[in-house]
Structures are given as C-alpha cells and as structure tokens.
Chain A
Amino acid sequence: MREAPAYTEYHPKWHRIRTSTYWWLGQRAYLKFILRELSSLAVAFFVVITLLHIRALTQGPEAYAEFEAWLRAPLLIALNVVSFCFVLFHAITWFNLAPKALAVRLGGKRMPDFVITALNYVVWLAVSAGVAWFVLGG
C-alpha cells in the first residue's frame, strides 16, 4: 500500500496594507506625535550652536564678538525662536508623561499623577533658576 504523501502546513504571506509615508497626516494625534519626535532636531540644533559657542570662546575675544554678532542675525533669531518653541513643547509633554513612566508608591499607595507632574515642573523651574543665576554671574 502506498504511503500517504507527507503533509506540510501551507502559510501564505499575511496580507498587510502598505503604510503610506504620510500616515502621520491622517490624524491630529499622529501629527502631534511626529512633531514631538521632530523636536529632537531642535535639541541637536542647540548642541551644534553650543559647540560653535565653545569654539568661539577658545579662539579669542574677536572671534567671540563675531560669534555673538552672528547670533543676532535675523535668520539665527528665527531659528532660535522655532527651536525654543519645539524644546518647550518637548519639555512640557515629557513632564506631563512622567506619571505614566514613574509609578511612585508611598506607604503602599500610588502617588497621584498630578503630584509627580507638579514635582517635575518644580524641579525644572528650580534648575532653570539655578542655571540663570550661575550664567548671569550671581
């Protein structure tokens, strides 16, 4: 008697709808998410400006004065305004997300979300005040 042929399971490729490159324009929440991720470019821009600032410091007072004049150019001011808005957006959304990532328990009870958010904002203000005081020669 002939043996039955071996049976192999057939797995066709799962059907997936191809995702468009512009999927993030489909909903406001998606757009907000991508804008938040793009705020990382503003952070990188800040680092580049800081490195140029440090380089100007090492090159002497004339180079430093030239760098300060360059920072006053309208294009740089505009870029700094846009970057500042993005960096603020990133910071505020980050602190608002903090309770989701940080579950602090006191005496077995979870701290309310607004307390963790508020503490983050207080630390942010304190650190900012400290940096400003240090920079302004306090």
Chain B
Amino acid sequence: MVAALLVPIHLFLYGLAFPLGWLKAPGYESTLALVRLPFTRVYLFVLCALPLFHWAHRFRYTLCDGLQIKHLNELINLFCYGGAIGGTAVAGYLLWNIP
C-alpha cells in the first residue's frame, strides 16, 4: 500500500520534476531542515523499509514461479529477504545519523 500510495509522487518529484526543472527543487538547507524532523525520519524509514519488503516478497515469487527456478529457493530467499533486511538497516543507520 505504501508503495502504491507514496512512491509515485516521490519518484515524480525527485526523479523527474526537480532534475528536469519542471518544478523548483528545494535547496540543500531546506531539505536538510525537513529531513531533520523526527516525523520525517520516521516517514522516510517507513518509505524505505516497507517497499523493500514489498520488492523482496514479489521478486522472490517472480524468480521462483516466473523463471521456474524453485530449486534455488534458499539462495533466492537469502538474496531477497536478506537484501530487504540489509536495506532497512542501512536506511535506519543513515536516518539516525543525519547531522
């Protein structure tokens, strides 16, 4: 649900609108001030963690059922869920250490 509700607008703003100049990008100082807020840190953590597990679960089944490589189940699970856990840890570390 998070991926469907929140990812499109974020991707549109930071991936297309700001780089292409369609909208004026908020500067470094204002972005940093926004991200420093506890609410924003929690929001960004949820925005990173939940979609990562979304990816892990769906990609696991895409590999197993789509490519018919069920015999590599353990490797696929380690890659997918391990990647999601690792990414979540990285997100937590980065957001905790914002100056």
Contacts and interface: CB of A to CB of B under 8 A. Distances in A.
A47 interface: yes
Nearest to A44: B55
Interface of B: 1, 3-16, 18-20, 23-26, 28, 30-32, 34-35, 44, 47-48, 51-52, 54-55, 58-59, 61-62, 66-68, 87, 90-91, 94-95, 97-99
A50 B46 CA distance: 12
Interface string A43-62: 11011111101110110010
Given A47-B87, A65-B28, A91-B3, 20 more contacts: A21-B68, A34-B66, A37-B58, A40-B58, A43-B7, A44-B52, A48-B87, A49-B15, A54-B44, A54-B94, A55-B94, A57-B28, A57-B31, A58-B98, A64-B28, A80-B19, A123-B5, A124-B5, A128-B5, A137-B30
A68 B15 contact: no
Contacts of A21: 67-68
Contacts of A41: 55, 59
B19 A77 contact: yes
A84 B11 contact: yes
B68 A50 contact: no
Contacts of B28: 57, 61, 64-65
Nearest to B14: A53
Interface residues of A, number: 51
A51 B8 contact: no
Interface string A112-138: 000000000001100110011011110
Contacts of B23: 136
Contacts of B18: 68, 71
A83 B51 contact: no
* Max count, chain A CB within 10 A of own CB: residue among B11, B25, B52: B11
A21 B16 CA distance: 35
Nearest to B58: A40
Given A51-B91, A135-B26, A46 B11 contact: yes
